[in-house]
Each structure stands twice: as structure tokens, then as C-alpha cells.
Chains A and B, each alone.
Chain A
Amino acid sequence: MTTANDVLDALQSAFPGAIQEFRVESDNRLWATVDPNKIVEICKFLRDEEDFDHYSGAAGVDKIDEDLFEVTEILASHGAHPVVALLKVKTPRDTPSVKSLTGLFWNADWYEREIWEMFGINFEDHPGLYPLLLVDDLVGSWPWRKDFKGYPDYNTNERVLEKINPDGYAEYKISPTEAEIEAGTVPETRPEYPTFREREIMELETESEMILHMGPQHAIVPGPFMLDLRVDGERVKKAYLDVGYIHKGIEKILENRTYIQGIPITDRMCYLASLSNNEVFCGAAERIMGIEVPERAQYIRVILEELSRIQSHLLGTGEFLSLLGGATFSPFQWMILDREEIISCIESVTGARINHSFVRQGGVRNDLPDGFAEMTRSALKTVVDKTNEYKELLLSDNIYRKRMEGIGILSPEEARRFGLSGPPLRASDTPYDMRREDPILVYPDLDFNVISRKEGDSKARVEVRLDEIIESCHIVEQCLDQIPGGPIREKVSKKIKPAPGEAYYRVEDPRGEMGIFLVSDGSDKPVKVKVRGPVYAYMQALPPLLEGAYVADVVAIAGSMDACTSEVDR
């Protein structure tokens, strides 16, 4: 098995002198600062020679003390080896510019656009550097830079100017903050680019084509995003996706909260996976602090995360079925009913239905209540029985199969190229699961299968989720049998101050690979938190997947992805 040292040796022999600094954190984490001019060649080498075919994302860090921007490219492999390479590129703060990786990795597009709009770092050779999450007003003020004056912002609504346009629709302009005006940092020249609407209208070809807007408010969207389809009759010619309608700036907010205060914010990144989000945020801090979580706490985390996976999959599948059969489709409502049982199990521990804020750095908040095991076992039994029933039902439903089979097929190569993870990737014959690849907590001690399917269509994606529910039930039952006694939280001082350092920690969210890239400078607040969410990758892969489908299939494909807009926008 390749380890981080092997990769480092290969790199150093292939590119002598290009690796300016390096740090081998463990067998599967390699940190390296590389020559900005050679980043593309190095990534190409890693991709082609060392099997780093999974581009996990990129993070920008504003090092205002050193007058530098740092862009970290996160590379991993789809199952060939467990090494994650984090390659840092430094660029001066006054003329920031980095080479784009879009030529190598298809899915680098969105990550680089995000860094551009937030930091103003230019990406050379990027095909379309348009804003992704931000409203056009804010582009040019680079909100994630440390010297951005518009944060904290308590009076947005007082500065809103309403204007009714000739069509009778309201438009809003928001004047700059007082701090910005005082500091004189109101951007005078904003970058010029065609807006989202203009871009899609430019591509209209014939008279018979039209743009069909699905969103921001539409029955298929689980949260506001705009899916625009260029259709000819019922046939989709091309799809365009505009996200950022609920961009809250969570990463910026986390930089200004202490580590404990940050936990409730991470809940809200994806409200169906809040326990995994807690876990990934706390786990990253634990990596830097170098503390080991007590075993009982690890078991509690695993139990709750798996329960949370069950409820998320039940809701995701149920919501998807409601897209196919209407809100009155009975299995959808039964699934919500089953979910309530799981929710009440989780609630008995955390006290909340969806936003738990339960995991702490060094352990968990409180112990399991009395009678939890019995309650959970009986709930799991119901869920397993019912899930088997749903599987049988969907398998025997001819209309359902007619609608779902062969729709939105993703070949394994394509799925990897799109940077997918979680159920959509596993449905495409790639058993890639963080619980196996990057083992954390007590997962190595547990016995479970990684579910995968060969077909790669919408039906397979739903089947993977249903099978995972059963597998998760199995894991929880094992944990309930094995859970030892003992403390539930390591002794950690009330004011958490990790030593200066960086960590990249990833877990298997219900939707796939959830990673947090955390930079600490020794203070009680993180310098930078970058969230690498799974749904971000799904959404990016959606437009190419929808090309050539029918309008009705858009629902079947987009729904089977089980997207969570909140996590895309953050």
C-alpha cells in the first residue's frame, strides 16, 4: 500500500526542488508547499502516475501577517491508496494569481470560482471565472479576506434600497457599510462579466427553444437554487445551475467564533447531517490538538452518526419518491413515519430533532440515557422490516422501474471525474467509503459492508440508500452490544486553543465525503475553516447529467441525488 512517504519520494525524484516545504503528518496525510509555476505539472504527475484521481477541492487561506494568499489543493484517490495530498501554493497578496487546475480535473471549476469570488485570487486559464455563490453586488469586495470591512454586519436591512423595475418586480440595492466607507475600501471597479441570465440567453440557438426556470422556488428544490433548463419541447438541451441563494457565509462566521461556539454553526451547514458536521469540525480540532477521544465517546458518536444517516436516507428517499408520485404517494409518508421513530431515539440523547450540537472536542456532551438501547433496538427492528418492504415494493412496481431504470446513467469513470462521493458514486460501481478509506473512531472494529451497485442509474442510487439504511442498523446494533463503560469526554480546558497547525479531517456524511480543512494559529478562534461538502460535487455534476433528458426525468435525476442546498451554499 502506498503511503505518504512513498508519494513524497516519488515527487521529490520527479520534480527536484519543486517541493519547497513538506510535512508527513501520518501514513495518509501529506502536506507540501510547491512551486507555483509547477503546480499543474505536479498534479498531472500525481494524477497519472500515483493514482490521485479524486480532486477533493481547494481552499484559500488569507495569511495577512505574511502578506500572502495560500491556495491548498486537496487530492485523494478513489480507492487505490488512502493518501491525501494537500499541496499549497503561495501567491502575493497584491497581485494574487494561481494556475488553474480545470484542465486536469473537471470538477476544479466550482472550487476555483468560489476562491476567486471570495478572495479575489485570479486563476490563470480558467474558462469562465464567474461568481458562484455571491450576489453580483458583493463581487469585488472579496468578503473572505481578513481585511474585509463588511463583517460583522448588523444593519443590512437598514441599508436596503428598494426599486421597482418597469416589469413591476422589486429589485434591491444594498449600500456599503459605514465601516467600508470610512476605510475607503468600497470597490470602485468591480469585475465585469455577463450575469447568469445573460449567459444562458446567449446560448439560445433556435426559435423553438426556451429557458425553463426550475427554482428558486419550485417543488423539486429542497432549498432555493436555480436550475435553468434550455428545452426544446420536452427535451432538455442544456442545464444551467445557479446556487448561492442561501449563502450564509458560514466559513467566515466560523473564523470569528471560538471552537465551542462554532459547533452550533456547523449544525446548520447541512441540517440532515448535523451530527456528522459536528464530528468533522471537532475531529479536525482534535487532530491539531493531538487528543484521543475516550472509547465510550467514540461509540456514542458512531451510534448517533449512523442513526442520523438512517433518518437522512429515509427522508431523502421519501422526498425523492414524493417527487415521482406526488405528496400523496403513501410510501413517502410511511418513510417519514419511520423517520420519526429514529428521530425520537436521537432526541432522547441530544434533546433536539435536527440541529444537535452534540459532539464536543474531546468527546461528547452527555451520556446515553437509561433505556436507550432497548428503545433503539425496537426502532431499528421496525426500520429494517419496513425498509425491506419498501425495497420489495419498489422492485415490484413496474411504473417506478419504467421511470427509473436507465435514467441519468453515470459510468464509473464519469462519476469519478465529476468528483462525486457517497451513494451516487457507490451506485456507479465504485465502493468508495470514508469509513473504510480514512478510518476514524471505532469504524475499523466494526463489521459492515460497503454497499455498491453496478448500474449507476437513478434506481441504483435509491437502492444504495435503502441498503445503507439496513447496513447502518446493523452497525448501530453492533455498537449497542460492544459499547464499553468509561468517561465520555477527555479533559480539555474550557478555552480550547489548539497549537498552530493545520488538519484535514474527513468523515462519511450521509451524502458522501465531508471534509474540513482547519487552520489554527494558536488563538481560540480558527484562522480558516474550509468545508468540502459532498453535495457541492453532486450539484456541479448535475448540469452535464441532465443534458438530453426529458423534463420529467430532470425530477428523477436531480431528486435521486438527494441534494441539500444548505451545504452547497454554506
Chain B
Amino acid sequence: MVLSTIVESITDFVVQEPKISGLIIGLIAAAIIASVINVGAMGVVWLERKVLGDMTNRFGPCRVGTRWGILQLVADAIKLFTKEDSIPRGADRPIYVWAPIVACITTMLVAAALPWGALNIGGVVYPLVAVNMDISAFFVEAALSLMAIGAFMAGWASNNKYSMLGAFRGMARMVSYEVPMGVCVISVAIMAHSLNIVEIVEAQSIWYIIAQPLGFVIFMIALVTDLGRIPFDQSEAEEEIIAGYVTEYGGIRWGLLYFQEYIIMLLGSVLLVHLFLGGWNGPVIPVISILSPMIWFLMKMILVLVFLIWVRGSLVRFRIDQVTDLGWKWLLPLSMVNLVWAVAVGVYFA
């Protein structure tokens, strides 16, 4: 009785004050997304330390919080939050302070437009997405590249030679890989006849990894480059330029930049799952049919994450000129070939 009254009054409020209610709903959604991606990133870091440990005959964290070390990241976060806050002398203060914030904004922008799985209620699949834009695939791809801006700001403002080299390397890498990545997104969109990620997922009766394998490979390489992970981690190559663009960052400012990388890794794998691995598509699991799409989505995502970690454990780093070389001379022409293929196949099946 009380419940229905509350629901009624909320409905009335929404109808009467669409702007205010929209703002409130947006804030709630933002809070949910922020917590999901941050907790998710902590999970990714934990997963990486465990999986990498396993690959190298180690245990990874196993003392802090049960024998699985699940509280390790909490301890790290507490420590980073309570570290001294320092801005190096000679740094460009406003840019230095804003760089981690820009990185945060980037991840929020991407996360807002990405569907975070779906629920199957009574046979109808409802995607969990905060902002269901018509051009979300394109938007996400564009917003992902903003991460390089945050990194460049950090590197430029630090007044450190290593940081500056790292920032330049990051920028060069971003410029050369954004184009093939964008072309791959366009190929997918052509095949699905839509730029909306939800519609792209729904259009995948055959996963696009099978329909355009070349596109998948190019997108995967470009994604690893965008994430700045080995073999493409030139911007923070620890053995060459100390910590690259974050050399002068410490405490929670560094913590933010560091977590953004893992959040982007999470978002990137979600994007990959949606564009090429059929998103939440999969056979309906009986009994828990409501969660069935969610389970498929999470399984695919974790698979992609483990793959990314596997790559990190087994490859060495490219040199920066080799990276741009690969981007412009190989991936860009190949992505064009893939575009032609996508158009041809798309027209044939349409």
C-alpha cells in the first residue's frame, strides 16, 4: 500500500518535472556506473596479478584477505589515498592537477554509452545501458582516444624528461592507431546497419568474429595499443623511461591515472565483446533465465581480459618507430580491405 503510493508519487513527479527528474536519474546512473567501473577495475587489477602470478609459477597476492588475496586492492587503495600529495617544483600546476581528472571523465563518458550486459525478463532482453545513443559505437571509440589527452597532459605538466618522452610516444601511438580502429568500427556498423551498440549486438546472429575475422584481429591490436599495454606500452615503458608520463605522479593522483588504465581495459574488453563476440547473445540458461544474458556477457568479458593479461605475460615491447610503422603501413591498408569486405558481405546478406 505504502509502496504503491511512493511509486505513484514518483511517477507523478517524473511526469510533472521531466528536467529535474532526468537530472536525478542521471546522477543515480552516474553513481552506479562510477562504482561499477571502479570496483570492476579493482577486480581487473586483482585478476591480472593472480593470472600473471600463475603464468610465472607464483601465487600472486595471497595473504591480505583470505588466501585469495581479495582485500589486496583495498589495502593498496587505502595506502594511495593517504599518501602525501606532492606537486613537483616547476610543474605546470593546473594541468598537472587536471590530468587525472580528465582521465576520469574519459572513462565515465565511455562507460555511460556502453551496455553493461542485459537482463532477460519474460523472454524480452533489456540491455543495461545508461545512455542509449544512436551513434554509441562511434562515440565510444572517439571517447576512448581521449585517454591519450589525459596522458599527454600528465606527461607535459610534470616537467620531467621521461614524462615528456612518454607523452610524445603516447600521442604518436594514439594518432596512428585511432584510424584503423575507427575503420573497423565502421565495418561493423555497415554490417549491422546501425551505429548503436545495442542494435549491433542484436544484429549478430553470426558473431562478427566469424563474419569479419580480419577486422577482429585489427581491432584487437588497435585496442591493445589504445590500452597502452605490452607490447604497446611505450608511453610508460618502465625499463626505458622509468614510468613514462606518470614518473612524477605519486599517491592518489597516480592512483587515479593507474586505475583509469585498468578501467579502460575493462571498457575496451566490453566494447570488443559487443562488437565482435555477440555481446550478451547466447543460449538461454534454464532456471536462471533472467540472468542468462548477463552470465554470457560476463564470461566473454573475462575471457577477453584473461587474453589481454596473457599477452602481457608473453610478449616483449615494440620500439616506438616500429609501432607507428605497423599502424600506418599494415593495419590501415588492411582495415580498408576489411571495410570493402564488410560492404560486400553486408550487401549480399541484406
- Chain A contact residues, CB within 8 Å of chain B: 168, 210, 212-213, 218-220, 233-234, 321-330, 333-334, 337, 397, 399-400, 402-403, 550-555
Contact (A399, B240) CB under 8 Å given A212-B161, A333-B57, A333-B58: no
Q: Give A554 to B240 CA distance when docked, in angstroms.
A: 8
Flag the segment in B12-20, B95-103, B255-263, B317-325 that touches A.
B317-325
Shortest CB distance B160–A (Å): 11
**Cβ contacts B160-204/A at 8 Å (1 or 0 each):** 011001001100000000000000000000000000000000000
CB pair B318 A328 closer than 8 Å: no
Contact (A328, B239) CB under 8 Å given A399-B231, A403-B318, A550-B321: no
Contact (A324, B56) CB under 8 Å given A219-B238, A552-B237, A552-B240: no
CB pair A219 B315 closer than 8 Å: no
Give which listed residue, A210, A212, A552, contacts B320 with CB less than 8 A.
A552
CB pair B238 A330 closer than 8 Å: no
Q: Give A210 to B161 CA distance when docked, in angstroms.
A: 9
Give which listed residue, B89, B161, B162, B317, contacts A326 with CB less than 8 A.
B317
CB pair A326 B233 closer than 8 Å: yes
Q: Give A43 to B175 CA distance when docked, in angstroms.
A: 58
CB pair B319 A403 closer than 8 Å: yes
CB pair B314 A324 closer than 8 Å: no
Nearest CB to that of A167 among chain B residues? B89
CB pair A219 B239 closer than 8 Å: yes
Q: Give A336 to B339 CA distance when docked, in angstroms.
A: 46
**Cβ contacts B73-85/A at 8 Å (1 or 0 each):** 0000000000000
CB pair B240 A328 closer than 8 Å: no
Q: Give A358 to B238 CA distance when docked, in angstroms.
A: 38
Nearest CB to that of A331 among chain B residues? B314
27 contacts across the A-B interface (CB closer than 8 A): A168-B89, A212-B162, A219-B239, A219-B242, A220-B239, A220-B240, A233-B168, A234-B169, A321-B316, A324-B316, A324-B317, A325-B315, A326-B230, A326-B233, A326-B238, A326-B239, A328-B230, A330-B56, A330-B313, A330-B314, A403-B317, A551-B241, A552-B240, A552-B319, A552-B320, A553-B319, A555-B240
Give the chain B neighbours of A168 by CB distance below 8 A: 89
Instruction: Contacts A220-B240, A329-B313 known; list 4 others, CB within 8 Å.
Output: A212-B161, A327-B238, A334-B57, A403-B319
**Cβ contacts B277-305/A at 8 Å (1 or 0 each):** 00000000000000000000000000000
CB pair A328 B312 closer than 8 Å: yes
Contact (A218, B313) CB under 8 Å given A326-B233, A399-B318, A403-B318: no
Shortest CB distance B236–A (Å): 10
Q: Give A269 to B96 CA distance when docked, in angstroms.
A: 44
**Cβ contacts B226-262/A at 8 Å (1 or 0 each):** 0000110110011111100000000000000000000
CB pair A399 B315 closer than 8 Å: yes
Give which listed residue, A220, A333, A403, A555, contacts B56 with CB less than 8 A.
A333
Shortest CB distance B109–A (Å): 29
Give the chain B neighbours of A323 by CB distance below 8 A: 239
Nearest CB to that of B49 among chain A residues? A328
Q: Check B345 for interface membership: any CB of A closer than 8 A.
A: no
Name which of B52, B233, B312, B316 has the most chain A CB atoms within 10 A of its CB.
Answer: B316
Q: Give A168 to B86 CA distance when docked, in angstroms.
A: 15
Shortest CB distance A511–B (Å): 21
Give the chain B neighbours of A554 by CB distance below 8 A: 240
Which secondary structure dominates chain A's binding surface? Answer: helix
Name which of A326, A330, A333 has the most chain B CB atoms within 10 A of its CB.
Answer: A326
Q: Check B210 for interface membership: any CB of A closer than 8 A.
A: no
Shortest CB distance A254–B (Å): 35
Q: Check B24 for interface membership: any CB of A closer than 8 A.
A: no
Q: Give A312 to B233 CA distance when docked, in angstroms.
A: 29
Q: Give A554 to B162 CA distance when docked, in angstroms.
A: 14
Shortest CB distance B50–A (Å): 12
Give the chain B neighbours of A550 by CB distance below 8 A: 319-321
Contact (A403, B313) CB under 8 Å given A326-B230, A551-B241: no
Contact (A322, B239) CB under 8 Å given A212-B161, A337-B57, A400-B316: yes
Nearest CB to that of B52 among chain A residues? A328
CB pair B234 A552 closer than 8 Å: yes
Give the chain B neighbours of A337 by CB distance below 8 A: 57
Q: Check B27 for interface membership: any CB of A closer than 8 A.
A: no
CB pair B317 A402 closer than 8 Å: no
Q: Give A413 to B58 CA distance when docked, in angstroms.
A: 45
Shortest CB distance A479–B (Å): 30
Give the chain A neighbours of B242 by CB distance below 8 A: 218-219
Shortest CB distance B291–A (Å): 34
Q: Check B55 for interface membership: any CB of A closer than 8 A.
A: yes
CB pair A555 B322 closer than 8 Å: no
Give the chain A neighbours of B313 by CB distance below 8 A: 328-330
Shortest CB distance A531–B (Å): 29
Give the chain B neighbours of A218 by CB distance below 8 A: 242
Nearest CB to that of B312 among chain A residues? A328
Give the chain B neighbours of A329 by CB distance below 8 A: 230, 313-316
Give the chain A neighbours of B241 by CB distance below 8 A: 551
